[in-house]
């Protein structure tokens, strides 16, 4: 092949958000749109590292992935990359990509330098829906802000990109290596099985025999819903082939480029089928499985359910941290520390305190956990947005979270040794009894006018200097709600590289430990999404069994009135409640 220089013009709006660049497919399909971003990324990396490197390109298989991979292969070749690794049929989950960067070696014993992950995660897919791309680094984690800022700067001044003339579209459905001769020698595209590296890694972390005993116990039953995302490929391999689950345990495990027309977001609103199966829907099924779980499009998120029981993601990470050491072989030496994102509830804080573990609170987005993990300061971490993970990789990991829960269930059952199986609900309520309960909910207002959203946020910042007024208002509308003690915008100083990230969410901290947090989403593709996070701590064991919505009603009322939500946005109801 020959390297050709293709003239182009800078395109507006290519700033990566919380997790990469996400736009409508129609935007991505514009001439040079993807190519500009990819070249801008290569230009932001040290050229001596890119030259001769191995990179990974794959994703959740959403609509337009095949076309995008072919474009990226050619640009990679023209920029001096030596080998591109592709998961069969373009499929690699986000956690699998992270594992591959860290673990896989080529025939020369070399690892990958980085990866382009093609996904818009939990956003819908299809010709009129979203596409996305993000770059992950040598440690397997998302590019830090310093790099994404550089990429963005490059997109604003790009005038040309390099691409290869003479590389035909590569067949990504067949496993094998295709080689091309270029100016700097051979360029290879290697297509391999999407699951091999990831499954190998999972086997080093968990006791598969113990989990298999649980799964094949006739008293146990479970249901996994991949929402037609890439998780299905891994679920079949791990749950069916390795752990002996019945095929009927898997729901929507055929990856589809439009996710079957659904929203591949594992929560109580969008994982409708699973919610119904688990007895949390409108009608009750005859038989309800003991354990249920779902994943998002790129399989880094998880939702955990018990029989007629929802585990909040904030509780889930706290419970995993509290139980990890006995239940999961990978943690047998103890935990190095734990971390959560700022809006995530403080359930994890209480566990850290009791177990005397180092604890960190970082801004939203997985990239902030990476530095802590690379420095050996954090073993388990999580976000309220259905993301849980550990330092086995540098992304959140949906299947890992399910295996962690199965391990805890298996371990508890072995300890109990009784006739009756220990349930998810028992584990959670026991946890609340020990640590207290953090009632928690999140209200999302999607696709709000951007200016309206900005005005609402500005209003909330303004109020932070008038806490006297705020507390008078609270006294008027809800005297049963505690006073606000402190209010600020969250700022994070990375303890490893000392970098500072400001404006990471508006916080109102109440005297009784309750919190209200307001943030604008960084993963949407149109308009603005306002996220309102509501949390209230209850230590009294007599008061930990209220329905969450009832317990939080007073705080919700305060949040909506304080922010003038309806006045600013015209919305009387959130789009989604999780």
Residues that bind ligand VG1 (CB under 6 A): 18-19, 121-122, 296, 300-301, 341, 364-366, 383, 385, 387, 521-523, 531
Quick check: 342 and 505 in contact, CB under 8 A?
yes
60 CB burial (10 A radius; 0-12, 13-18, 19+) = buried
| Shortest separation between residue 286's beta carbon and ligand VG1, angstroms | 34
Query: Does residue 383 interact with Co ion by CB under 5 A?
Result: no
* CB-closest chain residue to ligand VG1: 121
> Among Co ion, ligand VG1, none, what does residue 314 contact (CB within 5–8 Å per kind)?
none
- The nearer residue to ligand VG1, 385 or 501, going by C-beta atoms, is 385
- The nearer residue to Co ion, 229 or 289, going by C-beta atoms, is 229
| Shortest separation between residue 259's beta carbon and Co ion, angstroms | 12
> Among ligand VG1, Co ion, none, what does residue 154 contact (CB within 5–8 Å per kind)?
none
Distance CA 136, CA 142 (A): 4
| Shortest separation between residue 305's beta carbon and ligand VG1, angstroms | 18
| Shortest separation between residue 358's beta carbon and ligand VG1, angstroms | 21
- The nearer residue to ligand VG1, 64 or 386, going by C-beta atoms, is 386
- The nearer residue to Co ion, 117 or 484, going by C-beta atoms, is 117
Query: Does residue 60 interact with Co ion by CB under 5 A?
Result: no
- The nearer residue to ligand VG1, 532 or 555, going by C-beta atoms, is 532
Question: Which of these segments, 118-126, 167-175, 315-323, 562-570, binds Co ion (CB under 5 A)?
Answer: 118-126
Per-position DSSP letters for 295-307, written without gaps between them: E-TTS-BEEEEET
> Among ligand VG1, Co ion, none, what does residue 255 contact (CB within 5–8 Å per kind)?
none
| Shortest separation between residue 134's beta carbon and ligand VG1, angstroms | 8
| Shortest separation between residue 564's beta carbon and Co ion, angstroms | 32
* Biggest alpha carbon–alpha carbon distance for the chain: 75
91 CB burial (10 A radius; 0-12, 13-18, 19+) = buried
Query: Does residue 88 interact with Co ion by CB under 5 A?
Result: no
CA distance to 69, 70, 118, 484, 536, per residue, from 66 (Å)? 5, 7, 10, 52, 46
Q: How far apart are the first and last CA of the chain?
A: 51
Best CA proximity match to 119, nearest among 106, 129, 128: 129
Query: Does residue 267 interact with Co ion by CB under 5 A?
Result: no
The residues annotated with a catalytic role in the active site are 121
Residue indicated by tokens 């909330």: 460
Kindly report the number of other CB atoms within 10 A of residue 71's CB atom.
Answer: 18
> Among Co ion, ligand VG1, none, what does residue 136 contact (CB within 5–8 Å per kind)?
none
SS (H, E, C) 63-117: CCHHHHHHHHHHHHHHCCCCEEEEEHHHECCHHHHHHHHHHCCCCCCCCCCEEEE
Residues 300-329 that bind Co ion (CB under 5 A): 300-301
489 CB burial (10 A radius; 0-12, 13-18, 19+) = middle
Quick check: 438 and 535 in contact, CB under 8 A?
yes
Q: Within its chain, how far is the Cα of 299 from the centroid?
A: 8
Among 296, 384, 452, 535, indicate the residue that binds Co ion (CB under 5 A): 296
Among 129, 257, 290, 298, indicate the residue that binds Co ion (CB under 5 A): 298
Residues that bind Co ion (CB under 5 A): 121, 296, 298, 300-301
């Amino acid at each position: 092949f020959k390297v050709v220089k293709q003239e182009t013009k800078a395109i507006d709006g290519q700033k990566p958000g919380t997790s990469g660049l996400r736009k409508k497919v129609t935007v991505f399909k514009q001439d040079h749109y993807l190519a500009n971003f990819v070249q801008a990324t290569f230009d932001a990396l040290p050229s001596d590292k890119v030259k001769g490197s191995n990179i990974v390109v794959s994703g959740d298989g959403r609509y337009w992935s095949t076309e995008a991979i072919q474009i990226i292969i050619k640009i990679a070749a023209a920029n001096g990359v030596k080998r591109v690794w592709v998961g069969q049929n373009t499929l690699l989950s986000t956690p699998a990509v992270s594992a591959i960067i860290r673990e896989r070696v080529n025939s020369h014993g070399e690892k990958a330098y980085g990866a382009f992950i093609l996904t818009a995660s939990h956003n819908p897919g299809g010709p009129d829906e979203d596409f996305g791309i993000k770059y992950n680094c040598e440690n397997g984690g998302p590019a830090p802000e310093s790099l994404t800022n550089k990429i963005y700067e490059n997109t604003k001044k790009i005038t040309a990109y390099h691409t290869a003339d003479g590389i035909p579209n590569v067949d990504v459905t067949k496993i094998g290596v295709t080689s091309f001769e270029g100016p700097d020698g051979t360029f290879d595209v290697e297509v391999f099985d999407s699951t091999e590296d990831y499954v190998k890694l999972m086997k080093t972390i968990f006791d598969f025999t113990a989990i298999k005993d649980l799964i094949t116990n006739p008293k146990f039953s479970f249901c996994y819903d991949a929402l037609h995302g890439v998780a299905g490929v891994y679920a079949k391999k791990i749950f069916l082939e390795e752990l002996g689950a019945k095929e009927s345990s898997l729901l929507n495990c055929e990856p589809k480029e439009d996710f079957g027309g659904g929203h591949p977001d594992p929560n109580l609103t969008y994982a409708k089928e699973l919610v119904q199966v688990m007895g949390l829907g409108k009608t009750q099924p005859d038989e309800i499985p003991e354990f249920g779980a779902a994943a998002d499009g790129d399989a880094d998120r998880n939702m955990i359910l018990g029989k007629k029981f929802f585990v909040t993601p904030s509780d889930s990470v706290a419970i995993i941290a509290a139980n990890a050491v006995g239940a999961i072989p990978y943690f047998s030496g103890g935990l190095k520390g734990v971390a959560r994102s700022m809006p995530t509830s403080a359930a994890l804080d209480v566990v850290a305190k009791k177990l005397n573990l180092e604890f960190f609170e970082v801004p939203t987005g997985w990239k902030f956990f990476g530095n802590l993990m690379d420095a050996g300061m954090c073993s388990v971490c999580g976000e309220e947005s259905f993301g849980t993970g550990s330092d086995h990789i540098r992304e959140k990991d949906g299947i890992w979270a399910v295996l962690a829960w199965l391990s805890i269930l298996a371990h508890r059952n072995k300890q109990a040794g009784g006739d009756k199986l220990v349930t998810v609900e028992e584990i959670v309520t026991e946890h609340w009894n020990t640590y207290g309960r953090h009632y928690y909910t999140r209200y999302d207002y999607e696709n709000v006018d951007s200016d309206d959203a900005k005005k609402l946020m500005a209003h909330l910042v303004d109020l932070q200097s008038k806490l006297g007024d705020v507390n008078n208002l609270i006294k008027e509308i809800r005297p049963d709600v505690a006073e606000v003690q402190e209010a600020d915008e969250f700022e994070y100083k990375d303890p490893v590289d000392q970098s500072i990230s400001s404006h990471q969410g508006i916080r109102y901290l109440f005297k009784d430990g309750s919190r209200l947090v307001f943030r604008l989403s960084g993963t949407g593709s149109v308009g603005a999404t306002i996220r309102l996070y509501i949390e209230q701590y209850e230590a009294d064991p007599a008061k930990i069994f209220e329905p969450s919505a009832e317990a939080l009603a007073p705080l919700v009322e305060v949040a909506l009135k304080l922010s003038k939500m309806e006045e600013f946005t015209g919305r009387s109801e959130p789009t989604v409640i999780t």
